[in-house]
């Protein structure tokens, strides 16, 4: 924070913002009186318009193909489904002018010809503002929704994803730049021979397609990717335009991640600034410094209700604890050493549950904590908390020192969770010369300062 301007790697870099709407989850305080519906259009409308008023780059929708479960039952704390992301974003395209619209879509349980067409449709309807968060999955419980079931081995998920994106790009490139006539006196609406067939025969796909849509002004939808494993990082360095990372809290870890991605980009033959990094983060603001700790604690306690705490601690103990008092002690019995349902992931992070229980009991005894208080105390703190000026300084430090290019903000309340960020934080960033004061570009690719799509670059553009 005290480094001189000349020592800062990117002294003029601006902070980019996206907003990530996840749907129901315990980090969104859906039970608060200020929270709106998680599925009504009004919630999406208000949130996206606030983000556009704040000159955000993108509105980013999560996607869920199956309701999450615990102990073989639908998780009551997390039951609301999500409207189809592309359908929702197409509706939002009609009420917005500039903000990018990013749909999370699965490469494991979609097909390239269909998904590329739907994404292209969103890109055209929004006049070049579409993005695609390309995700993979290998779990059988999602696969049960589909005829093939959990058909894809873990080792093949990125192989399929890479072939999927390469095929989608070929489909988007199949129309010539002058395919549509610009004259009403022409004999044909489209130039004869300007639309090419796409044939792909790979280990995952065997298709022959004549694509039905031309490209938008931005060339291709912007491709986001969120994998953090070595395979995921290599995949991003090869295929992505933007990385949606989980390194949005600790500067050193974020910088290590960004440095690793830059090294992988160089190895892949791309300029090291060819991918923008936008980690997921949470921002809690208070107008005055004495209020910061109280506000952060209020958010944390809202995220960890009694039932949520019992559910999360139950993942460690390997059993249903819903009949216990969350304000009582931790269970006296040791955890059950069995796999945790992958429908919710594991709270153990690969560690021995009995060792975790021993550590948590020692913490509870030392600080006289209840089960719920232990769940809060041992949770991973997410993001930034402070006054608008304090948080602005931190975000500028991150971006100008290369730890990220901006942040994908997960509001702890929807649809009101961006109000303070737009009204308090963004003016502080603008005063520091680190945030746009108006949209000077029109497409999502331009907002993010990205080069043309990988398959549509000149030699000089490819070299950076």
Could you read off the pLDDT of 133-192 as tens digits, one per residue? Answer: 999 987 777 888 887 777 788 889 999 999 999 999 999 999 998 888 887 887 788 888
- 8 A C-beta contact, residue 373 and residue 348: no
Rounded distance, CA 412 to CA 341, Å? Answer: 26
Rounded distance, CA 317 to CA 46, Å? Answer: 40
pLDDT of residue 151: 75
Residue-wise over 149-172: b if at least 16 C-beta within 10 A, else e?
Answer: eeebeeeebbbbbbbbbbbbbbbb
Identify which of 206, 241, 259, 273 has the alpha carbon closest to the alpha carbon of residue 134: 241
Rounded distance, CA 321 to CA 313, Å? Answer: 8
Is 109 flagged in the annotation as binding? no
pLDDT of residue 334: 92
Q: How far is CA 103 from each of CA 25, 109, 135, 366, 457, rounded to the nearest angstrom?
A: 18, 15, 10, 46, 24
Is 104 flagged in the annotation as binding? yes
Please report which helix (H) or strand (E) contains residue 422, including its range. Answer: none
Is 229 flagged in the annotation as binding? yes
Those residues with Cβ within 8 angstroms of residue 34's Cβ, 6 or more apart along the chain or in another chain: 413, 416
Q: What region does 446 belong to: left with phi over 0, alpha with psi -120 to 50, or beta?
A: alpha
Q: Where are the domains of the chain?
A: 16-182+194-286+384-448, 305-378
Which residue is listed with tokens 């991640």? 257
Rounded distance, CA 291 to CA 257, Å? Answer: 32
pLDDT of residue 66: 83
**Would you give the end-to-end CA distance of the chain in angstroms?**
29
Domain 16-182+194-286+384-448's class? Answer: alpha beta
Rounded distance, CA 398 to CA 296, Å? Answer: 21
Instruction: Give me the residues paired with residue 223 across strands.
Output: 132
Largest CA distance in the chain: 84
- List % helix, strand, coil for the chain (3-state, nearest 5): 40, 15, 50
Is 370 flagged in the annotation as binding? no
pLDDT of residue 148: 72
Q: How far is CA 370 from each of CA 41, 219, 332, 362, 365, rounded to the nearest angstrom?
A: 39, 55, 13, 12, 9
In this structure, the number of other CB atoms found within 10 A of the CB of residue 115 comes to 21
Q: How far is CA 437 from the centre of its chain?
A: 25
- 8 A C-beta contact, residue 173 and residue 165: no
pLDDT of residue 138: 76
pLDDT of residue 12: 96
List per-residue pLDDT tens for the chain, 464 residues long: 444 445 899 999 999 999 999 877 888 898 888 899 888 999 999 999 999 999 999 999 988 888 877 767 777 777 677 789 999 999 999 999 999 999 999 999 999 999 999 999 999 999 999 999 999 987 777 888 887 777 788 889 999 999 999 999 999 999 998 888 887 887 788 888 889 999 999 999 999 999 999 999 999 999 999 988 899 999 999 999 999 999 999 999 999 999 999 999 999 999 999 999 999 999 999 999 999 999 999 999 999 999 999 988 998 898 889 999 999 999 999 998 665 555 555 454 556 888 899 999 999 999 999 999 999 999 877 899 999 999 999 999 999 999 999 999 999 999 999 999 999 999 999 999 999 999 999 999 999 999 999 999 886 676 77
Q: What is the pTM of this model?
A: 0.93
- 8 A C-beta contact, residue 168 and residue 112: yes
Which residue is listed with tokens 């019995």? 333
pLDDT of residue 1: 45
Rounded distance, CA 352 to CA 386, Å? Answer: 35
Q: How far is CA 311 from the centre of its chain?
A: 24
| CA neighbours closer than 13 Å in the CB half-sphere of residue 205 | 24
Rounded distance, CA 119 to CA 168, Å? Answer: 10
pLDDT of residue 79: 65
In this structure, the number of other CB atoms found within 10 A of the CB of residue 405 comes to 24
Rounded distance, CA 106 to CA 159, Å? Answer: 13
3-state secondary structure of 281: strand
- 8 A C-beta contact, residue 412 and residue 402: no
Structure tokens at 339: 């796999």
Those residues with Cβ within 8 angstroms of residue 3's Cβ, 6 or more apart along the chain or in another chain: 401
pLDDT of residue 304: 92
Q: Which pairing describes strands 384-386 and 283-285: parallel, antiparallel, or unpaired? A: parallel
pLDDT of residue 258: 98
Rounded distance, CA 267 to CA 262, Å? Answer: 9
pLDDT of residue 4: 45
């Amino acid at each position: 924070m005290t480094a001189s301007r000349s020592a800062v790697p990117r002294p003029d870099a601006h902070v980019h913002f996206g907003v990530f709407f996840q749907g129901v989850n315990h980090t969104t305080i859906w039970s608060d009186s200020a929270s709106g519906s998680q599925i009504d259009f009004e919630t999406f409308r208000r949130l996206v318009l606030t983000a556009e008023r704040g000159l955000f780059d993108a509105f980013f929708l999560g996607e869920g193909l199956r309701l999450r479960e615990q102990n073989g039952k639908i998780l009551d704390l997390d039951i609301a489904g999500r409207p189809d992301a592309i359908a929702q974003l197409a509706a939002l395209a009609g009420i917005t002018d500039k903000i990018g619209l990013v749909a999370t879509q699965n490469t494991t349980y979609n097909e390239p010809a269909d998904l590329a067409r739907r994404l292209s449709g969103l890109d055209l309807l929004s006049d070049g503002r579409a993005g695609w968060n390309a995700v993979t999955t290998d779990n059988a419980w999602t696969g049960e929704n589909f005829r093939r079931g959990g058909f894809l081995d873990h080792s093949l998920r990125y192989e399929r994803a890479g072939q999927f994106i390469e095929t989608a790009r070929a489909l988007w490139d199949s129309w010539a730049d002058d395919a549509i006539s610009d004259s009403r006196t022409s004999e044909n609406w489209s130039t004869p021979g300007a639309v090419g067939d796409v044939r792909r025969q790979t280990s995952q796909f065997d298709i022959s397609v004549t694509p039905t849509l031309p490209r938008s002004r931005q060339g291709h939808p912007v491709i986001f990717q969120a994998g953090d494993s070595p395979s995921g990082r290599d995949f991003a360095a090869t295929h992505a335009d933007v990385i949606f990372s989980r390194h949005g809290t600790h500067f050193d870890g974020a910088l290590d991640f960004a440095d690793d991605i830059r090294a992988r980009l160089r190895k892949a033959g791309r300029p090291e600034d060819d991918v923008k990094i936008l980690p997921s983060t949470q921002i809690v603001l208070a107008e005055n410094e004495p209020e910061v700790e109280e506000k952060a604690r209020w958010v944390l306690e809202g995220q960890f209700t009694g039932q949520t705490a019992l559910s999360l601690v139950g993942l460690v103990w390997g059993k249903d604890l819903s009949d216990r008092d969350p304000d009582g002690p931790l269970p006296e019995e040791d955890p059950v050493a069995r796999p945790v349902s992958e429908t919710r992931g594991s709270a153990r992070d690969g560690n021995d549950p009995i060792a975790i229980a021993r550590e948590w009991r020692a913490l509870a005894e030392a600080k006289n904590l209840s089960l719920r208080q232990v769940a809060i105390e041992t949770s991973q703190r997410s993001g930034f908390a402070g006054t608008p000026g304090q948080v602005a300084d931190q975000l500028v430090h991150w971006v100008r020192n290369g730890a990220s290019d901006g942040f994908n903000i997960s509001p702890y309340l929807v649809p009101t969770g961006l109000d303070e960020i737009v009204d308090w934080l963004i003016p502080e960033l603008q005063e520091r010369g680190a945030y746009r004061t108006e949209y000077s570009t029109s497409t999502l690719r331009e907002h993010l300062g990205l080069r043309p799509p990988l398959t549509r670059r000149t030699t000089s553009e490819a070299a950076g």
